[in-house]
Amino acid sequence: MKRLFIPIFFFAIVIFWNMQGFAEVRLPAILGSHMVLQQKSEVKLWGWCAPAEKVSIKTSWDTTRYETKGSSGAKWTLQIKTPAAGGPYAITINDRIVLEDVMIGEVWVCSGQSNMEWSGDQKLQQSLDEAPNATNQKIRFFYVPKSTADCPQEDIKASWKVCSPEEMIHFSAIGYFFGKKLQNDLNVPVGLINSNWGGTPAEAWTPKEVVEQDPVLKDASLKLNPADWWPITPGAIYPAMIAPLTKFRIAGVIWYQGESNTQNYNTYAQLMGKMIGSWRASWGYTFPFYYVQIAPFAYGNYNVGALIREQQTACLSIPRTGMVVAHDLVGDVNNIHPVRKIEVANRLANIALADNYGVKGIEYKYPVYKGMIIEKNRVRILFNHVENGLIATSKDLNEFYIAGSDQKFLFASAKIEGNTVVLWNKAVKEPVAVRYGFSNTAIPNLFNKEGMPVNFFRSDHWEVQTNAVVK
């Protein structure tokens, strides 16, 4: 018995050692079966293993074997090349771990606050109506759970899901409908990473040091009101809900947020520039960032909504950004969550299709203020992106205002002349400034002939009243 015991004992040690080594090879949750990898790219695969342990990867789309060894810190990283869109494929690690049903296509992060988060869980009718027909093997979801952290995290407790009625009902409506349009129009698999938290200001999504090293942004962050349901402190969310994603190759980001920054509106453009820049630096490349301008809503203080929209328009100066104007999609200015998410998602998708994917024939540019010409007691407004002219959706143009040097704005009569608008008010003999839709709740009715709503604007830089409470 003793002669048999020694070989069996050592054989058991060898088996245990091999199993222990294999057991230490781990992947983050975002690398898993059913995921979508960005097409025609070098994408990272990474994880943890024993120091110096060999890690070998092969894919079913080519014959290349990728190899590396674990670092002294028990981590490993490999870059692999992905083909054009297709699948399903398999990825095998150390000939034992197999990721199945992997698709190659386009990957987008869907982020922001509640208007991005809203889904069938909030009884959104468009999601409820869509859910029974939402079986689509070429759309995949990854839902990042709400969490905070004091330092950047490397993993998330989540998994990729194939789009089904049961999964779609819980997913961001805007994210889903955006992905559905991309998948249909490009005919490629689409992966959607849902990372959002209702009520959160942009400061919480920005790395803490980025805000605190900027005296202006740091001071502005102190003006945010504490809340029981979401964090407001700089960098509270970024380490837990964005940092773990930054090794994963994406096509871009869609964003719907801003309502919670009406408390410190005047620094929003500066903040967004820093936030977008920090995200791009973490990913290592300048991906497109497309966002939705906040909708008309009866905020408690005068004009704060208009001022945030003005700041969001200023964000268009950030490279590779695009903005959806959506004031025409609002039916109730007392509901901070407009219910027409399909239309907003399609507008976001149209920007992506035209701007990022080069699809021709899509009208996606919103008319914007270009300048004005004073013609005696009238003002002629000039616009960009109105080459084919302008239209009104009702008999009379609304939400135009005109002022003289006394800075008192009065309602302006207005008429369309070709691709311009002429304004006047008999009480304003010498006009010097104009505004269009510049209030919290304005729903103007001017469009270009392609059906794109004209963006809000003002020609002046005068101080805007905000401290009076709306009755």
pLDDT-based confidence at residue 469 (cuts at 50, 70, 90): low
pLDDT for residue 166: 97
pLDDT for residue 174: 98
pLDDT-based confidence at residue 5 (cuts at 50, 70, 90): very low
pLDDT for residue 383: 98
Please state, in angstroms and rounded to a whole number, the distance separating the CA atoms of residues 366 and 290. 14
pLDDT for residue 467: 78
pLDDT-based confidence at residue 83 (cuts at 50, 70, 90): very high
pLDDT for residue 328: 97
HEC profile of the chain: CHHHHHHHHHHHHHHHHHHHHHHCCECCCCCCCCCEEECCCEEEEEEECCCCCEEEEEECCCCCEEEEECCCCCEEEEEEECCCCEEEEEEEECCCEEEEEEEEEEEEEEEECHHHHCCHHHCCHHHHHHHHHCCEEEEEEEECCCCCCCCCCCCCCCCEEEECHHHHCCCCHHHHHHHHHHHHHHCCCEEEEEEECCCCCHHHHCCHHHHHCCHHHHHHHCCCCCCCCCCCCCCCCHHHHCHHHCCCCCCEEEEECCHHHHHHHHHHHHHHHHHHHHHHHHHCCCCCEEEECCCCCCCCECCHHHHHHHHHHHHHHCCCEEEECCHHHCCCCCCCCCCCHHHHHHHHHHHHHHHHCCCCCCCCCCCEEEEEEEECCEEEEEEECCCCCEEECCCCCCCEEEECCCCCCEECEEEEECCEEEEECCCCCCCCEEEECCCCCCCCCEEECCCCECCCEECCCCCCCCCCECC
* pLDDT tens-digit readout, 389-398: 999 999 899 9
**Residue 21 above 90 pLDDT?**
no
pLDDT for residue 167: 98
Please state, in angstroms and rounded to a whole number, the distance separating the CA atoms of residues 242 and 257. 15
pLDDT-based confidence at residue 24 (cuts at 50, 70, 90): confident
**Residue 268 above 90 pLDDT?**
yes
**Residue 251 above 50 pLDDT?**
yes
Please state, in angstroms and rounded to a whole number, the distance separating the CA atoms of residues 236 and 211. 11
**Residue 14 above 70 pLDDT?**
no
List domains and CATH numbers for the chain: 11-102 (2.60.40.10), 104-356 (3.40.50.1110), 368-458 (no CATH)
Q: What is the mean pLDDT of residues 25-29?
A: 96
pTM value is 0.94
Q: Mean pLDDT score of the chain, rounded to an integer?
A: 94
**Residue 2 above 70 pLDDT?**
no
With CA atoms as reference, report the closest residue to 211 among 228, 234, 188, 237. 234
* pLDDT tens-digit readout, 354-371: 999 999 999 999 999 999
Please state, in angstroms and rounded to a whole number, the distance separating the CA atoms of residues 447 and 336. 23
The percent of residues in the chain predicted with pLDDT above 90, rounded, is: 92
* pLDDT tens-digit readout, 279-318: 999 999 999 999 999 999 999 889 999 999 999 999 999 9
* pLDDT tens-digit readout, 113-124: 999 999 999 999
* pLDDT tens-digit readout, 204-215: 999 999 999 999
* pLDDT tens-digit readout, 410-467: 999 999 999 999 999 999 999 999 999 999 999 999 999 999 999 999 999 999 989 7
**Residue 320 above 50 pLDDT?**
yes
pLDDT-based confidence at residue 468 (cuts at 50, 70, 90): low
**Residue 22 above 50 pLDDT?**
no
